[in-house]
Amino acid sequence: MSGLIQREGLRVVVGLGKTGLSCVRYLRQLGYKVAVNDTRTNPPNLAELQAEFADVEVSLGQLDEVLLLKAHEIIVSPGISIQEPALLSAHLNAGIKIIGDIELFCRAVDKPIVAITGSNAKSTVTTLVGLMAQNAGVKVAVGGNLGTPVLELLQEDADLYVLELSSFQLETTHSLRAAAATVLNISEDHMDRYANLMAYHKAKHRIYRNCHFYVTNRQDMLTTPLLPDSLPNTSFGLDKPDLRSFGIIKEQGKSYLAKGQTKLLDTAEMALFGEHNMANALAALALGEAVNLPMDAMLDTLKTFTGLAHRCQLVATQQGVAWYNDSKGTNVGATLAAINGLGASISGKVILIAGGVGKGQDFSPLSPALAQYGKAVLLMGEDAPKIDQALQLNISKSYVSDLNHAVNTAQQLAQQGDVVLLSPACASFDMFKNYEDRGNQFVASVKRAIF
């Protein structure tokens, strides 16, 4: 990848976050002429870009239609909608291809890729598969929508790549040929970017294009692709599996992860808690087996992996009450999984803290789970009234002004066996910097209140 070659055609990188800067570096390394466009007047990484590449043209403040029309290709960061009029015009009227960093990565890589998407749990499953490969002695690189920008993974000596992919990334990816691909689940999310659920569904299903093996969720038919049965595949679910699939076998009061009739692991030996994490474990096992990871190494990983921060993370247990930080639960599907996963595994009830920016979602699907497992709902943030209106419940609902208020109220309501769950079903930017900030503030509030 010599920088001495001057390749033909201008590449315009739109968006100067971490992904955008990694694209500029990669394209310049390949010898392309690059320009940058960002709608912000002072985007992050601007000083770094200008120090590193003083000759790169930079246009700020809005999408620059004149610059975009000069491009041979436009590389768009995931945070920018490809439905923006200036981008649509460049693509539809001028025939300019719009791609993302994942597409650049897929063009370059010649090693197998495990590709993972879904409305929820994709970070957990991606991390799990990566750790399983590492524990098996495989040289693995993990990234994409999670952690390291994907183009930086090309610098690693890897024999396997495990990628978390968002719907936005998949929209601009054309050359993915995954060794194993999955859509873990689909529920309403990013309805501020998509016309309807089917448009979102269509974007997610791009992960299955030209894949060699696919994994579906038996309990979510929206994950099943329109692909021939002759293509190798398997499924996972919390029911009893058939001969080729992964599921749960229940015997004498115990639950086992299983493939077909073979019991693999007593779920009590897993470091992760809750039925939703059993599903995550089964998905990871199915994907790992598809790329020939040894079962023993994968099962050993499940005994030690305690989960990711802000994703149903156990914060503390005090006087028989467990406090969970699921701040990454930014949509209804994630919160539903957390309520059902924890609710089915405890003796008491769930006290839910929810609210924030709802992104146009329908919150009514939370009602049946809360009716079954809930004790109270504490609502905060911009869309608290919308959630309140959507939840038809006989359990307590009340408004709280902030997380300290929520934690103190929950502490008064909770009894032994109960769970207090921060799983907002909403984005965080009305009250917090991001979901990590929201989760960290919750953890701090809990520790102040109970210790």
Band (pLDDT 50/70/90 cuts) for residue 5 is: low
Where do we find the tokens 């809005």? 62
Band (pLDDT 50/70/90 cuts) for residue 395 is: very high
Tell me, what's the pLDDT at 308?
A: 85
Q: Which two tokens stand for residue 400?
A: 């709280």
Reply yes or no on whether 212 is catalytic: no
Tell me, what's the pLDDT at 6?
A: 59
Tell me, what's the pLDDT at 3?
A: 41
**Domains of the chain with bracketed CATH:** 10-99 (3.40.50.720), 104-302 (3.40.1190.10), 313-450 (3.90.190.20)
Q: Which two tokens stand for residue 257?
A: 């992860």
Of 260, 261, 306, whose CA–CA distance to 280 is shortest?
A: 306
Tell me, what's the pLDDT at 189?
A: 75
**What is the SS3 assignment for 98?**
strand
Q: Which two tokens stand for residue 130?
A: 């990566």
Band (pLDDT 50/70/90 cuts) for residue 176 is: very high
Reply yes or no on whether 405 is catalytic: no
Residue 4 pLDDT more than 80? no
314 compared with 288, residue with greater pLDDT: 288
* Catalytic residue selected from 45, 122, 204, 340: 122
Task: Out of 57-61, 338-342, 375-379, pick the least confident.
Answer: 338-342
Residue 203 pLDDT more than 80? yes
Rounded percentage of the chain residues whose pLDDT exceeds 90: 89
281 compared with 146, residue with greater pLDDT: 281
pLDDT, one tens digit per residue, over 119-128 is 989 999 999 9
Q: Which two tokens stand for residue 205?
A: 């299903």
Tell me, what's the pLDDT at 417?
A: 97
The span from the CA of 63 to the CA of 120, in Å, is 31
Rounded to 10 degrees, the C-alpha dihedral 390/396/397/400 comes to: -160
Over residues 64-88, mean pLDDT: 96
Band (pLDDT 50/70/90 cuts) for residue 237 is: very high
Tell me, what's the pLDDT at 243?
A: 92
Tell me, what's the pLDDT at 309?
A: 85
Rounded to 10 degrees, the C-alpha dihedral 422/426/431/433 comes to: 90
Mean pLDDT over all residues of the chain?
95
Over residues 325-330, mean pLDDT: 95
Tell me, what's the pLDDT at 273?
A: 86
* Catalytic residue selected from 37, 135, 145, 277: 145
Reply yes or no on whether 190 is catalytic: yes
Band (pLDDT 50/70/90 cuts) for residue 214 is: very high
The answer to whether 370 and 393 are in contact (CB under 8 A) is: yes
451 compared with 124, residue with greater pLDDT: 124
Tell me, what's the pLDDT at 403?
A: 97
pLDDT, one tens digit per residue, over 32-43 is 999 999 999 999
Q: Which residues of 84-98 are buried (b: 16+ CB within 10 A; e: fewer)?
A: eebbeebeeeeebeb
Tell me, what's the pLDDT at 306?
A: 86
Over residues 169-190, mean pLDDT: 94
Residue 351 pLDDT more than 90? yes
Beta bridge partners of 350: 374, 419
* Catalytic residue selected from 120, 135, 185, 190: 190
The answer to whether 213 and 232 are in contact (CB under 8 A) is: yes
The span from the CA of 324 to the CA of 164, in Å, is 24
Residue 1 pLDDT more than 90? no
Over residues 215-227, mean pLDDT: 96
pLDDT, one tens digit per residue, over 82-111 is 999 999 999 999 999 999 999 999 999 999
Question: What's the predicted TM-score (pTM) here?
Answer: 0.85
Over residues 376-384, mean pLDDT: 98
Tell me, what's the pLDDT at 426?
A: 96
The span from the CA of 110 to the CA of 161, in Å, is 10
The answer to whether 353 and 422 are in contact (CB under 8 A) is: yes
